[in-house]
Amino acid sequence: LNQMEKAVEAAHTFFMANPEHMEMQQNIENYRTMAGVDVFQLVDREAKPHMESYSAGIKYYEADDFEAAIKYFEQALREYFNEDMECRILCEGPQRFEEYEYLGYKAGLYEAIADHYMQVLVCQHECVRELATRPGRLSPIENFLPLHYDYLQFAYYRVGEYVKALECAKAYLLCHPDDEDVLDNVDYYESLLDDTVDPTSIEAREDLAMFVKRHKLEAELLKSAAEGLGFSYTEPNYWIRENTITKRTSVQTSARREEGKKKSREGGKKVKQTQILIVHIKTLRSIIQSKKITKCGPLLYDNITFVYNSEQLNGTQRVLLDNVLSEEQCRELHSVASGIMLVGDGYRGKTSPHTPNEKFEGATVLKALKFGYEGRVPLKSARLFYDISEKARKIVESYFMLNSTLYFSYTHLVCRTALSGQQDRRNDLSHPIHADNCLLDPEANECWKEPPAYTFRDYSALLYMNDDFEGGEFIFTEMDAKTVTASIKPKCGRMISFSSGGENPHGVKAVTKGQRCAVALWFTLDPLYRE
């Protein structure tokens, strides 16, 4: 209908819920070009107001505009509690008999009434998860509601509102009473108060205090009802906080260091500087633990050359090695590839699954061995594909010092060939930026560990076979899918390996001439998902 603005809105809304869908991203650009307009306002028609305000708060917080951050976080909380009220009201009404056969349900009157209201209560209790989940997603944002108060406590501190900072810090502790960093903050904020203010008179924020009190009472009711009515109920952990603390403490302690220097220049008390130093040590420990920084294990084979570790590759759980294959093995593998690869293998026969400017071909170990036993390729060469895959698996398992067996999840010999006549003015990638076990969401700076991602993958490796092509560099990026942190030029025998999560977004630059071939390997620690 030539309504480009609405087309862009619809495409953007879909893309926000499906960030791995690169074709939709391309559609958005096409609509803009067709309309002759560089910038449409990107509108997510499914966006929740409290989520939008929360995202704006984070943006201003990270830009050190704490006044604006406070405004948006407070607005997000007001919207959140309004949405919570609406969510709970929508739970009132007929419920589903999911756990029993409806026609065989023979409860007495009082049992039926109690059962109905317990189903309503379960629905209302789940509003915490519902409001923390972006449209189109299955997984909620970790620690979502408490994070508002975590950001606010530090933002208020930075603008000198120590009473409000203390209220927010105490509110956060209602959900995480053992958080050492915030406990230290409480002590620190109390030390900054005027002598006329009694620290013990300052309570946690009433909005969250009432919310948590109700939440705990509901949980007790549900557990009691589950025992009395005989239905199963397990209280979920609604305040999971695996990936959020390091970011907050690292930002926070950096600002504290500035505060500490200022106090020192003004002749402040050394006690406070000691407190700040203690927090630095705790933060460093938490960063080390969160990034799983460990000593590297042996490479097992004498001829392999170590090139770069995680630190030198500006990331986490990364390693670059050379001479994993000999020149002769590279040539033999390349020869096997030409005899067994199919166009679009692994991608339902799609000739160009990642970019229209390249042809993609692939083959599995099983296919290579079958062709070998049938005499269609030399069996020795087919066996080499299997053997070098096993060699790579042993190296990864040893180098990362894994405590349990690493299994193959999927192994794929892949080649990408630049299509002639389609390389002028290319601005796409050979393989878009992605993570191997989660759905990368550059807009939200998140990686969602949920289907259709291969959530069981734990480690990945790429073993290169040649370098007689142009382009095709392997790149790591930040979660924004734009900021390149490391770039690796493939060559025979070179192997890059890394953990498969959102800490390692990666992709492949455009192959602009020739053919680039590699063995792609994905590993799992879960034997249920071994290849």
- Looking at 229-238, 261-270, 377-386, which range is the least confident one? 261-270
pLDDT at 34 over 60: yes
Whole-number Å distance between alpha carbons of 501 and 496 = 15
Residue closest to 37 by CA, chosen among 48, 25, 45, 28: 28
Instruction: Tell me what the pLDDT averaged over the chain comes to.
Output: 84
pLDDT for 241 equals 61
pLDDT at 330 over 60: yes
Q: In Å, how far from its chain's centre is CA 9?
A: 25
Are residues 195 and 314 both part of a single domain? Answer: no
Which entry of 205, 348, 516, 530 is annotated as an active-site residue?
516
pLDDT at 190 over 80: yes
Judging by beta carbons within 10 Å of its beta carbon (0-12, 13-18, 19+), is residue 485 exposed, middle or buried?
middle
pLDDT at 292 over 80: no
Return the higher-pLDDT residue of 36 and 101: 36
Residue 28 phi, psi (nearest 5)? -60, -45
Number of domains observed in the structure of the chain: 3
- For the residues 50-58, what does the mean pLDDT come to? 92
Are residues 62 and 32 both part of a single domain? Answer: no
pLDDT at 250 over 50: no
H helix or E strand, kind and range, residue 264: helix 245-265
Return the higher-pLDDT residue of 228 and 283: 228
pLDDT at 205 over 60: yes
Domain boundary among 209, 242, 259: 209
Whole-number Å distance between alpha carbons of 250 and 256 = 10
CA dist 57 to 54, 80, 223, 497, Å? Answer: 5, 14, 36, 36
pLDDT for 523 equals 95
Are residues 312 and 446 both part of a single domain? Answer: yes
- For the residues 347-366, what does the mean pLDDT come to? 90
- Assigned domain for 163 exists: yes
pLDDT grade, residue 44 (50/70/90)? confident
pLDDT grade, residue 100 (50/70/90)? low
- Assigned domain for 129 exists: yes
Domain interval for residue 13: 4-46
Are residues 202 and 72 both part of a single domain? Answer: yes
Q: Which residues of 510-522 are buried (b: 16+ CB within 10 A; e: fewer)?
A: bbbebbbbbbbbb
Give pTM, 2 decimals: 0.57
Are residues 363 and 493 both part of a single domain? Answer: yes
pLDDT at 411 over 70: yes
- Assigned domain for 119 exists: yes
- Assigned domain for 238 exists: no
pLDDT for 507 equals 95
337: CATH = 2.60.120.620
pLDDT grade, residue 39 (50/70/90)? low
- Assigned domain for 217 exists: no
pLDDT at 266 over 90: no
- Assigned domain for 263 exists: no
Are residues 121 and 89 both part of a single domain? Answer: yes
Domain boundary among 209, 234, 251: 209
pLDDT grade, residue 106 (50/70/90)? low
Are residues 32 and 174 both part of a single domain? Answer: no
Are residues 88 and 35 both part of a single domain? Answer: no
pLDDT for 99 equals 53
pLDDT grade, residue 294 (50/70/90)? very low
* Structure tokens belonging to residue 34: 């067709």
Domain boundary among 184, 209, 234: 209
H helix or E strand, kind and range, residue 433: strand 429-434
Are residues 385 and 499 both part of a single domain? Answer: yes
pLDDT for 95 equals 64
pLDDT at 80 over 50: yes
* Residue 137 bears catalytic tag: no
Return the higher-pLDDT residue of 170 and 425: 170
Q: Each residue of 369-378: pLDDT tens digit?
A: 899 888 888 9
Are residues 41 and 98 both part of a single domain? Answer: no
Return the higher-pLDDT residue of 239 and 398: 398
pLDDT for 115 equals 80
Are residues 156 and 30 both part of a single domain? Answer: no
Q: Each residue of 132-178: pLDDT tens digit?
A: 988 877 778 888 999 999 999 999 999 999 999 999 999 999 999 99
Are residues 502 and 382 both part of a single domain? Answer: yes
- Assigned domain for 15 exists: yes
pLDDT at 73 over 50: yes
pLDDT at 471 over 60: yes
- Assigned domain for 430 exists: yes
- Looking at 101-110, 119-128, 222-231, 512-521, which range is the least confident one? 101-110
Judging by beta carbons within 10 Å of its beta carbon (0-12, 13-18, 19+), is residue 196 exposed, middle or buried?
exposed
- For the residues 205-227, what does the mean pLDDT come to? 92
